[in-house]
Amino acid sequence: MGRLENKIALVTGSGNGIGRATAELFAAEGAVVYVTDVDAAAAEAVAGGITAKGQTAHWAAMDVSKGQDVSSVMRRVKAEQGRLDVLVNNAGLNVRGDFRHMSDADWVKLREVNLDGVVRVARDGFDLLRASPSASLINVASIMGSRGLRQLTGYSATKGAVVALTKGLAFEYAPFKIRVNTLSPGYVETALTERILRNPIFEKWLIDRTLLKRLGKVEDIAKAALFLASDDSVYMTGAELVVDGGMTASL
């Protein structure tokens, strides 16, 4: 019996990377998974791969920066399932560049997905989570939410806000038996980091500062998400789970 047997889970941004690995692991552990992504074809492909293994998945196109998209998907889940046991706020993006040159449009783009999207999904998913006897809301942030690095100032600001938001939501949602935690990955090999990791000097710099001497894999983060999603973490709320190979401990 899987650790998420008979659970209903929704993972945003699960068409690739960490979100995809998380959706696939949740399904393997027995959950009915809703795969959502701004890229409809990617979401459909991931859900198709899950169902081909005899597991259960549904897919939906959802841009978390658009309120109508989020509301529509939540209404569908309510009609089909009546509840959510696990909600993973994973969708995110990055706009790299020196902050002094960041345009208003780039800042709005970052904020609308990385912060406003998390707010929107957490808020619109509340009634579905409240209907669960043991609900878990997981907000994916980043170790950069508490650190600064050149060309990542805007990204860091949005992820730091997610960490703070999670603590507030833990207070607000606790009376409804909804646990709310932050999952903060370190540097992981994904499409989001592919461009910067092409620079061997920077990649070596990162690995040298990581105690386990390697970059993270999407499966490493998915396993941590499974812990927060399952009843193994039933006494955790308002916490930040850092999964970074020891990078922050060495800085």
Q: Reading across the β-sheet that carries 135-140, which strands appear in turn? A: 57-61, 32-37, 8-11, 86-89, 135-140, 178-185, 240-243
CA pair distance 249, 251, nearest whole angstrom: 6
| pLDDT value for 144 | 75
The whole-number pLDDT of residue 102 equals: 79
Q: What is the C-alpha to C-alpha distance for residues 38 and 114, in angstroms, rounded to an integer?
A: 13
Q: What is the pLDDT of residue 65?
A: 97
Supply the pTM of this predicted model: 0.94
* CA–CA gap between residue 187 and residue 71 (Å, rounded): 32
Q: Give the pLDDT of residue 148.
A: 64
- Residue-level pLDDT at 31: 98
Residues near 183 by beta carbon (within 8 Å), at least 6 away in sequence: 138, 139, 140, 141, 221, 224, 225, 228, 240, 241, 243
Residue 196: what pLDDT? 67
Residue from 34, 155, 173, 187 carrying the catalytic annotation: 155
Paired with 184 in beta bridges are 242
Closest by CA to 7, choosing from 37, 45, 33, is 33
Name beta bridge partners: 135. Answer: 178
Q: Write the CATH number of the domain with boundaries 8-250.
A: 3.40.50.720
* Paired tokens of 40: 């409809």
Residue 6 burial by CB count (10 A; 0-12/13-18/19+): exposed, middle or buried? exposed
* Angle between helices 67-80 and 116-124 in degrees, nearest 10: 30
- Is 155 a catalytic site residue? yes
Q: Which amino acid is at 185?
A: P
State residue 97's pLDDT score.
60
**What string of pLDDT tens digits covers the 251 residues of the chain?**
899 999 999 999 999 999 999 999 999 999 999 999 999 999 999 999 999 999 999 999 999 999 999 999 999 999 999 999 999 999 998 776 676 777 999 999 999 999 999 999 999 999 999 999 999 999 999 997 667 666 678 889 999 999 999 999 999 999 999 999 999 999 898 776 666 677 788 788 888 989 999 999 999 999 999 999 999 999 999 999 999 999 998 76
159 φ, ψ (degrees, to nearest 5): -75, -35
**How far is 20 from 36, CA to CA, in rounded Å?**
10
E-state strands within 38-103: 57-61, 86-89
